[in-house]
């Protein structure tokens, strides 16, 4: 086996200015990028810290006690996040996902949720407001999150076997506590059960590490109303030592489950959906809604850049146009420099109009010299 090289980089040093264009760009909800893609989804990282050390995201060797996490003053405050989010919503964003790091570690996160839940789209609709969490604090927080206005959550869970789970989170965290968190989220009503609005579980599949957990997970969540989604292990960041041979293609995941539990393919529930949906079939081969569905997210083997409508706001207020971008645009400098809402909205508009990112589509043609390589931003910093 070849030895892993884990480069140490600090993506936060590099950033791009977010210039205010000479011609104002009015936020009319009709923004589209250079490839004709709208802006409808915003992911906001609220902290770069985490209490887990998943090897594929924040490997212990890099994110150790000496790692220079952002100081509190560098983080966008809740007021700054809400003000920026409002401008994104005016540009067409309808869905906001809070992430991190571990978003439930951000103190008083409920206050931010309350502020975001009060936002309305230009046609007066509430946002689809959600959060991705490792579930470790969910048992404690599910009720207060729901009360603050959170609609649903996605919980990351890479296996049911306690030893496998403890090894993957690399801090010896027991799986039972996450399962308790999932139950608390369900009991609190986080996830209505309607298609697209269910409580979801994300499982990152790493060949050689947890593929034997796939069927067990499928059986566990089948018929519960919870949607289990399998995510291909991605080459995000610069520290996880990613190798293609550790990616188990989604097609193999579907094949594996199908051999035991019949599946039929379902239509996407919303345009630009990242997951391919498969429903559990009844004896006649038709989807049985009572048995539910799974999703597969093939970020590596089947790029979905064509429909990518997602922007990412980093913990310190930089706008990233792609999960694999090397640099973000410094919106915080505008916010803290006294720019007006119109100017910030114009800057966001101009940045989005110039967007042509489609890393996953190009992945196989990139070499370490032409690709973003070691300058890539860490997922814990811009959020998944
Ligand atoms: N800490 C929270 C959690 O784990 O749910 C939120 C942040 S985490 C970065 C968001 C999602 O990214 C998680 O579902 C995680 O499994 C996924 N993720 C992190 N690194 C990944 C990688 N290399 N490939 C695929 N998914 C990854
Ligand atoms: Fe933490 Fe989530 Fe990354 Fe795991 S995937 S290290 S829980 S941020
Ligand atoms: Fe979107 Fe970039 Fe992922 Fe393509 S690679 S789907 S552009 S985030």
| Span 256-265, pLDDT tens digits | 999 999 999 9
Instruction: Give residue 56 CA to ligand 3 midpoint distance, Å.
Output: 18
Calpha distance 275→231 (Å, rounded) = 9
Averaged over 149-162, what is the pLDDT? 97
Residue 360 Cα to ligand 3 middle (Å) = 6
User: pLDDT tier at 194 (50, 70, 90 boundaries)?
Assistant: low
Ligand 1 touching residue 59 (CB < 6 A):
no
The residue whose two tokens read 């035991």 is 260
Tokens linked to 118? 């009060």
| Average pLDDT, integer, range 181-208 | 89
The pLDDT tens digits for 197-248 are: 789 999 999 999 999 999 999 999 999 999 999 999 998 777 777 888 999 9
| Nearest protein Cα to ligand 1, atom 19 | 57
Task: Indicate the range of 117-121, 368-372, 374-378 predicted with least confidence.
Answer: 368-372
Quote the tokens at residue 282: 């009844």
Q: Whose CA is nearest to atom 7 of ligand 3?
A: 358
Cβ of 375 closer than 6 Å to ligand 3, yes or no, is no
- The whole-angstrom distance between residue 129's C-alpha and the CA centroid of its chain comes to 13
Supply the pLDDT for residue 23.
93
**Ligand 1 atom closest to Cα of residue 379:** 9
List all residues 6 or more positions away from 255 whose beta carbon is below 8 Å from its beta carbon. Answer: none
Instruction: Please report the atom of ligand 1 found closest to the CA of residue 203.
Output: 16
| Nearby residues of 96 by Cβ (< 8 Å), 6 or more positions away | 41, 42, 43, 44, 85, 88, 116, 127, 128, 129, 130
| Ligand 3 centroid from CA 274, angstroms | 10
Q: Is 250 in the pocket of ligand 1 (CB under 6 A)?
A: no
Q: What is the pLDDT of residues 89-137, one digit of tens each?
A: 999 999 999 999 999 999 999 999 999 999 999 999 999 999 999 999 9
Ranking 78-82, 89-93, 265-269, 335-339 by mean pLDDT, the lowest is 265-269
- Say yes or no: CB of residue 358 within 6 Å of ligand 3: yes
Ligand 2: which residue has its CA nearest to atom 8?
Answer: 101
Residue 361 has pLDDT above 60, yes or no: yes
Model pLDDT, residue 274: 83
Best CATH choice for the domain 11-382 from the list 3.40.50.12640, 3.20.20.70, 1.10.3430.10, 3.40.630.30: 3.20.20.70
Rounded Cα distance between 280 and 230, Å, is: 15
How many Å lie between the centroid of ligand 3 and the Cα of residue 357? 7
Can you give the pLDDT at residue 4?
Answer: 42
What tokens does 230 get? 């399998």
Tell how far the Cα of 54 is from the centroid of ligand 2, in angstroms: 6
Q: What pLDDT, on the 0 to 100 scale, is given for residue 367? A: 55
Task: Give the pLDDT score at 241.
Answer: 77
Task: For residue 301, give Cα distances in angstroms to 17, 26, 113, 259.
Answer: 33, 38, 35, 21
Using a 6 Å cutoff on CB, does residue 329 contact ligand 1? no
Q: What is the mean pLDDT of residues 282-305?
A: 93
Mean pLDDT over 281-291 rounds to 96
Ligand number with the minimum distance to the CA of 306: 3
Atom of ligand 1 nearest to the CA of 56: 23
Calculate how far, in angstroms, residue 13's C-alpha sits from the geometric centre of ligand 1.
23
* Contacts of residue 191, Cβ cutoff 8 Å, sequence gap at least 6: 151, 152, 153, 185, 197, 198, 199, 200, 225, 226
Share of the chain above pLDDT 90, in %: 79
- Ligand index nearest the alpha carbon of residue 34: 3
Question: Phi then psi for 200, rounded to 5 degrees?
Answer: -120, 150
Residue of 322, 355, 366, 379 best suited for mutating to test ligand 3, as the one with most atoms within 8 Å of CB: 322
Identify the residue whose C-alpha is closest to ligand 3 atom 4. Answer: 305
More confident of the two residues 307 and 86: 86
Residue 146 has pLDDT above 50, yes or no: yes
Q: What is the largest CA-CA distance in the chain?
A: 63
CA distances from 141 to 2, 49, 77, 198 (A): 43, 18, 21, 18
In short, whether 238's Cβ falls inside 6 Å of ligand 1 is no
State mean pLDDT over 253-273. 91
The answer to whether 376 and 238 are in contact (CB under 8 A) is yes
Centroid of ligand 1 to alpha carbon of 231 (angstroms): 9
| Residues in the chain, overall count | 384
| 40-54 tens-digit pLDDT | 999 999 999 999 999
Q: What is the mean pLDDT of the chain?
A: 91
Q: Which long-range contacts (CB under 8 A, 24 or more apart) does 117-126 make?
A: 117/148, 117/149, 117/150, 118/149, 119/82, 119/85, 119/86, 119/89, 120/89, 121/29, 121/89, 121/94, 122/28, 122/29, 122/89, 122/90, 125/94
Residues with CB under 6 A from ligand 2: 50, 52-54, 57-58, 100-102, 134, 156, 380
The whole-model pTM stands at 0.93
Percent of the chain scored above 70 by pLDDT?
90
pLDDT of residue 283: 94
């Amino acid at each position: 086996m070849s030895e892993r090289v884990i480069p140490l980089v600090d993506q936060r040093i590099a950033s791009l200015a977010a210039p205010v264009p000479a011609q104002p760009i009015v936020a009319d909800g009709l923004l589209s990028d250079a490839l004709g893609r709208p802006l409808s989804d915003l992911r906001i990282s609220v902290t770069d810290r985490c209490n887990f050390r998943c090897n594929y995201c924040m490997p212990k060797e890099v994110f150790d006690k000496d790692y220079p996490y952002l100081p509190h003053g560098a983080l966008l405050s809740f007021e700054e996040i809400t003000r920026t989010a409002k401008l994104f919503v005016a540009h067409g964003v309808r869905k906001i996902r809070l992430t991190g790091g571990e978003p439930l570690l951000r103190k008083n996160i409920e206050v931010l949720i309350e502020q975001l839940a009060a936002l309305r789209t230009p046609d007066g609709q509430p946002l689809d407001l959600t959060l991705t969490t490792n579930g470790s604090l969910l048992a404690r927080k599910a009720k207060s999150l729901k009360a603050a206005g959170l609609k649903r959550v996605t919980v990351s869970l890479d296996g049911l076997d306690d030893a496998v789970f403890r090894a993957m989170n690399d801090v010896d965290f027991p799986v039972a506590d996450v399962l308790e968190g999932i139950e608390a989220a369900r009991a609190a009503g986080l996830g209505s059960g309607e298609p697209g609005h269910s409580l979801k579980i994300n499982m990152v599949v790493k060949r050689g590490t947890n593929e034997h957990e796939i069927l067990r997970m499928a059986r566990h969540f089948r018929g519960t109303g919870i949607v289990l989604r399998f995510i291909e292990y991605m080459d995000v960041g610069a520290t996880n030592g990613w190798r293609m041979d550790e990616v188990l293609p989604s097609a193999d995941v579907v094949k594996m489950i199908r051999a035991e539990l019949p599946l039929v393919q379902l239509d996407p529930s919303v345009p630009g959906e990242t997951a391919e949906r498969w429903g559990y079939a009844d004896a006649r081969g038709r989807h049985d809604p009572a048995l539910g569905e799974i999703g597969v997210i093939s970020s590596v083997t089947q790029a979905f850049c064509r429909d990518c409508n997602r922007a990412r706001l980093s913990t310190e207020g930089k706008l990233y146009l792609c999960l694999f971008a090397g640099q973000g645009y410094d919106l915080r400098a505008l916010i803290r420099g006294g720019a007006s809402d119109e100017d910030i909205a114009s800057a966001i508009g101009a940045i989005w109009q110039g967007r042509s990112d489609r890393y996953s589509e190009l992945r196989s043609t990139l070499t370490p010299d032409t690709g973003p390589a070691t300058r890539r931003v860490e997922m814990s910093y811009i959020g998944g």
